[in-house]
Amino acid sequence: MESVIFKTVSHYINGQKVAGNSGKFGFVYSPSTGQKLAKVSYASPEEVDQSIALAKEAGAKWASTSIGKRVNILFKFRQLLVENTDKLANLIGKENGKTISDAKGEISRGIESVDLAIGAPHILKGEHSVNVGGKINAYSMKQPLGVVTCISPFNFPVMVPIAMSTMAVAVGNAMILKPSEKVPYSALLISELWQEAGLPDGVWNVLNGDKDTVNSIITHKDIEAISFVGSTKVAEIIYETGTKHHKRVNAFGGGKNHMVILPDANMDQAVDSFLGAAYGSASQRCMAISVAMTVGQKTTELFTEKLKLKVENLHPGSYDDESADFGAVISAEAKQSILNAIDQAVEEGANIVVDGRYPDVDNKDGFYLGATLLDHVTPDMTIYKEEIFGPARAIVSVDRIEEAIQLINDHQFGNGVTIFTNSGRDARKFIEEIEVGMVGVNVPIPIPVGYHNFGGWKDSRFGEGQMFGPDTARFFTKTKTVSERWFDQDDSDEVNFNFPSS
């Protein structure tokens, strides 16, 4: 059994670990064992003020550092991420509960964002026009915003903070990261890697805390931009509060991601794809497939029959158990919420095909749930309408592709969706008509690679800007356009009261 560490997790301010003096703290648990690992300090408003002031000072110097020197530090940071993958993955497993192999996949995807940020010199290039009129040259430049903040969730302790923040740092901003208080260890190790890579003190800072800490950060006069990933309810609050205080905000919320299976799909491929996309990471992914939407009664029967056999053989286990298909959910509260959702679905008329509510695991104190599969689910049921952040997945049967498209378009969330088919015609129809931000065709989790933009539609995102891709550079910079003319000695210019034109 894992021993209790039970020490206080610090903040990281201006290149130093700072214990925190607010007197407020929360506990960090190991999902695999249910034990307390540590207590984490919550930053006070005074600590927020101090860290932002130091970041502002450091950020001004960082912004004037040549892009070449910045990129050299990013190269070193990338190499350190690779070299410390095992250490990072072990930390993720301890505080998040996901398996080591899953954690390594998360780190790999995070490194893609660093790869893109290394290309910042190209992305930051402005426009230039010669002699737009009257010997005037016009050009634009992109400049950093100043101090920005990223507020990251528990489910990706490394990938999301890196994806949210690396480009912001590359283009010259100072960063305040507020990680989920449930997973503070990974953020501190990332901080150490930035320091080892040569990032100047104060450019990267970590403040742990609760909603009061968040509110102090996002309303602070010197915070210029906010990037958030979490639940839809909180995303909307972050967006409304941040924009009210004149911040640039992108806030990514939840999803209810559908996999549409047409009758002509390769059913074995569809089943295997659904299995990993639906239950990986104990279904604690905003891009996890929540609903299998089967088209036609025969498709429903065949898909359910094949899927049932495989779901029955899935088993959760400790993060370091190589035989486990997925780990525990993040907390006892999360486990109970998922159990409540399953019970409510049954009360509303759903049928349990595979019951994973009480899995056979070695450590009964861990926050484990097995894979649950429900069918006879209808669009009016709560389990269809709401995001269930845990391994309870639903099958919804429809008669035609048009019905599938309409149901998905009517849903409040628009994060991700995928279709499994061998028909190019039906796939094209689906792509063109579906109102969802990220679409897959025979791809189970349509999350883009790090150099393409990530972002859902509808209540899955508030504000503009992306988390991956080149739009991150646009989000974390402001454009300045210059019109410039130099006179020759013999040039003269008459007074003209007309509006300037070429």
Residue 113, helix vs strand vs coil: helix
DSSP of 444-463, one letter per residue?
SS-PPPTTS----EETTEEE
Confidence of residue 6 (pLDDT cuts 50, 70, 90): low
- For 162-193, the pLDDT digits (tens) are 999 999 999 999 999 999 999 999 999 999 99
DSSP secondary structure code for residue 396 in this structure: E
Q: Which domains does the chain have, with CATH numbers?
A: 7-253+460-481 (3.40.605.10), 257-441 (3.40.309.10)
Cα–Cα distance, 112 to 348 (Å, whole number): 43
- For 211-254, the pLDDT digits (tens) are 999 999 999 999 999 999 999 999 999 999 999 999 999 999 99
Residue 174: beta bridge partners? 147
Enumerate the H helices of 127-254 as residue ranges.
159-170, 184-197, 211-218, 232-244
Cα–Cα distance, 237 to 253 (Å, whole number): 11
- For 336-365, the pLDDT digits (tens) are 999 999 999 999 999 999 999 999 998 999
Catalytic residue among 286, 345, 419, 473: 286
Task: Kindly state the average pLDDT of the residues 480-502.
Answer: 81
pLDDT at residue number 500:
77
Average per-residue pLDDT for the chain:
94
Contact 467, 450 (CB under 8 A): no
Q: Is 286 a catalytic residue?
A: yes
Q: Record the tokens describing residue 90, joined without a space.
A: 């072990």
Burial level of 502, CB count in 10 A (0-12/13-18/19+)?
Answer: exposed
- Maximum Cα–Cα distance across the chain: 90
Q: Tell me, what amino acid is at 310?
A: K
Q: Comparing C-alpha atoms, which of 190, 233, 236 is closest to residue 177?
A: 190
Task: Kindly state the average pLDDT of the residues 6-31.
Answer: 91
Highest mean pLDDT among 5-14, 126-135, 417-426: 417-426
pLDDT of 3 higher than 70: no
Select the more confidently predicted residue: 338 or 456: 338
Q: Record the tokens describing residue 330, joined without a space.
A: 């993040």
Q: Give the H/E segment covering residue 316.
A: none
Q: Comparing C-alpha atoms, which of 396, 401, 397 is closest to residue 432?
A: 401
pLDDT of 2 higher than 50: no
User: Is the torsion defined by CA of 443, 445, 446, 447 positive or negative?
Assistant: negative
Q: Tell me, what amino acid is at 409?
A: N
Cα–Cα distance, 332 to 329 (Å, whole number): 8
Residue 293: beta bridge partners? 260, 396
Percent of the chain with pLDDT over 90: 88
Q: How large is the C-alpha radius of gyration of the chain?
A: 25
Task: Kindly state the average pLDDT of the residues 54-83.
Answer: 97
Task: Kindly state the average pLDDT of the residues 476-497.
Answer: 85
Confidence of residue 1 (pLDDT cuts 50, 70, 90): very low
Task: Kindly state the average pLDDT of the residues 261-274.
Answer: 98
Q: Comparing C-alpha atoms, which of 463, 454, 444 is closest to residue 163?
A: 454
User: What are the Cα distances from residue 21, in Å, to 28, 41, 173, 283?
Assistant: 18, 8, 27, 36
- For 393-432, the pLDDT digits (tens) are 999 999 999 999 999 999 999 999 999 999 999 999 999 9
pLDDT at residue number 228:
96
